[in-house]
Amino acid sequence: MHDLLGQEVQRGIFVASNISVATLPSGMYFLVLRNGAKQIPMKFIKE
């Protein structure tokens, strides 16, 4: 997961359907979900 400046703020392998963002400050974030060869880019805003 990267912030708006492109800095990596979180990395990991997630097996659950939830990713905790509780420790992240407010802002816009980008992440790429990977499932085998499939990649799904996403962005979200934490208020």
Are the CB atoms for 26 and 46 separated by under 8 Å?
yes
- Rounded Cα gap, residues 34 and 4, in angstroms: 20
Give the mean model confidence (pLDDT) for residues 2-12: 89
Give the mean model confidence (pLDDT) for residues 4-32: 87
Read off the pLDDT of residues 31-47 as tens digits, 9 standing for 90 and up.
888 888 999 999 999 99
**Of 32, 26, 37, which is closest to residue 8 (Cα–Cα)?**
32
pLDDT score recorded for residue 11: 86
Which residues neighbour 39 within 8 Å (Cβ) at sequence distance 6 or greater? 32, 33
pLDDT score recorded for residue 25: 93
- How far does the chain reach from its first CA to its final CA, in angstroms? 16
Are the CB atoms for 34 and 5 separated by under 8 Å?
no
pLDDT score recorded for residue 46: 94
More confident site: 20 or 24: 24
